Structures are given as structure tokens and as C-alpha cells.
Structure 1
Amino acid sequence: MKPLKVLIGCETSGIARRTFSDRNHNVWSCDIAAAEDGSNPHIRCDIRDGILFEGWDLLAVMHPPCTRLCRSGRRWMSGPGKWTEPKQLPKGKSWDDMRAEFEPGISIFTACWTAPIPRVAIENPEMNDLARDRMPADLPAPQMVQPHWFGEPTYKATGWYIRGLPQLVETQRLPEPERGTDEWKKWNRIHRMPPSAERARLRSRSFPGMMNAAADQWGGWARRQEAAV
């Protein structure tokens, strides 16, 4: 079958790019930072700077800025109601800082969702109400999945906002460890990471098991659609 032209947005690890490449697709990743593996099919750019208009068959956006969009971060953005001053702010940050960090997340997510690409999947946590108010009207609720549905002994609720693609189907659900055990604590290692300069990058890394499922299921779906045209 003809290979798909796939763009993996907002990724530096190469995990998602390699899984699609292993299925013989024409795959590029892009991010403002360099690829960790030094790979050539990686474009350093802001995803909003035109690359979305280059005739892709499938767009998978891995880690767009989401800290200020997610429900867990809502308390930093507003107090009671909407856009009232928060009772507390992160150390060293002002309310203007919070709003300045909020806007790029909205802009990048919206640019990717509305891109002229027939199949789109954007990884992002469930959004807070302030972010939802700024989203396109056709944005569905996310499909929430867990890494341990795909053979990864880890807890991390992962949301996929998808257009033109089916929902992911679990491939290898692992039995969950008993709460409070050492094994359960290991499964929660992402949530228990101590503060560090690398914490955000490490917490956002893709899960190979989940991305293998995505490459098989979404890539297979898209290939069948393209073959039928």
C-alpha cells in the first residue's frame, strides 16, 4: 500500500515518529527544539508557521502546551467564576504570566485542530472550562486512555482529541497492582516525580505501547481509506 504522509507535531523524543516510520510511512516530526535522537526527519519550527499546510494525510500532535489548559491547572488561572483573580499563584508567577502562558496553548491547539488535514489526533488532558470556551465548536470530548491498556505498567490518564479517526482500542491491558503496594507506587512514578528542570519533558514523553497501537490502528485506518479513493 502507498505510504501515508504523516506529521508528528510537538515531539522531540522520536517515539511516535519511529512507530509510524516502522510501518513504512513517510513521517516527519516537528518542534521548536531539536530531536533527542538527532534524526534527520525532524523539522525545528513552530507548528503554526506553515508546516500544517503541506499536504499531510495524518497529523498526530503529541505534547502541545497544556499546563494552563488542563483541569488540574485551573486553580492558577481563575478564582470562583471565570477570570477572577486566583487566590494563589505559582511561586514567581503573576496572573499576567498565567494568561500569557494560556494563550499559546489555545493558539497551537486550535491551529492543529482546524488544519487542512483529514485525520487529526491531539494528545491533551481533559480541559478546564476556560480553555473549552476558546475551542472550536466541533471539538469533541477526549477519549481518555491509560498506558496500562497498551502493556505499559504506568498510570497516566491520556486524552486524545480525534477527528477523522476511530478511537484507540486497548491492545494489552495489564492487571492493576493493589493500591498502596510497592508495585502500585512504581505505576504512579510519573505523578510522583520530584521537581526538576527535566520534569516537564519526562512527564510528557510518549508511551511506546500506546504509540504502536496508534500507528497500527490509525495508520491502518487511514491507509484503507486512501486505498478506497
Structure 2
Amino acid sequence: MSAVDVYLADQRAAIPGPSWTRRDLLREAGDHLEDATDAYTAAGYTPTEAEALALRDFGSVDDIAPGFRDTVAIGAARRTAVLLVLVMLPQAFLWDGGIELGASAHSAAPDSGLFHVLDIIIGYVGTAGAIGALVALAVTAIGQRWLRIGRRTARLTAAWSLATAMIVPIIGFTMLTLTGGLTVLLALSALAFMAAPFALVALSAQRTLAAC
């Protein structure tokens, strides 16, 4: 292995998180080091000397890895925020209007205090989850132009997304059970339109936390 290959392997080991984000970063780093090595070689240095000079200019693993970790974490957080936005936006249409899965299964809202409390809670949680996801998406995307963000922002995004992805399905299934109309059709619909999408959000959030 060349000195550049060893350097890139050390960088890969120093950067946790989703492999697709690390792969893009390391590819860019490798291209930069290759160009720098070629430039030094063209200037008359031996290949070994050219690699050493290119690595010196680029910076050590200890110097560069923290910045790469921030980039990977923010990229993973942005992906999680996008997923949460996409999952949250259709929820009101699926359950309160449009398709009305609950009504299609002949469910009726029970006249109980618990159901009404949960109905209020899920409304607030759903609204807060959607707004938080939109804010996180804006901050981790265009917000980087004006704000100095890093792994702390990624952790907050992941924690918010994970909490939303856990709370909404739990409350939703509890409310469906309380209706007394939890048929096979409704259960399968809830799994397809609520549990499975939120599970993807939770998985993405956990990967983001791993990158932090």
C-alpha cells in the first residue's frame, strides 16, 4: 500500500457513521491527494517524496478527521430530517382526512377521557415533530451558510427524530386499539403507513447518532 492508501485507511477508521457519506468524503480526499502528488511529481520529486509532500499539505489524520466527522454527522442528520418530513406530512391526510383509514375500518372514536387526551397529545406531537424536522432540514442544509453547526446539531436532530418516530406510532396504535375497530385491514394499513415509515426514520436517527 502506498502512503496515501494508508492515510485514507486511517481516515476511514477515524470517521464513524454511514458508509455512503464517508465514501464520498474519502473519494474527494483521495482525488485531491492524487492531484497534489502528480503536481509534485511533475515538479521533479520522486513518487515517494511527492506523496509525502501531498500528505503534509493536506494535513494529518488528527487534524482533518474532526472536520470530516462533522461533515458526515451533518449529512446523516440532514438525511434523517428529510425522512421525518416525508413521513410526517402525509399523516394527517391518511388518518384525519382524505383516505380516512380509521373510518374505512368502521372504527369510531370512543367517548373516553384517555382517547381524547391521546388525541390532543398526538396532535401536538405530530405538529411539533413536523416543525422540528423542517427546522432541522433548513439548518443542516442552507443554514450552514450562516450558522456554525456540527455534531451537536446532528445529535439534536437525531434525538428529536427518534423521539417523534417512537411516540407517534405508540400513541397512534393505542388510539386505534381504543376504537374497538382494530381489524386486520386497519392493522395492516397502520403498519404500512405509520409503523414502517417511522421505523426507517428511527433507523436513520440511530445511524446519525453513531456518526456523532
TM-score range, shorter chain: under 0.3
Higher relative strand content:
1
TM-score normalised according to structure 2 size: 0.24
Higher relative helix content:
2
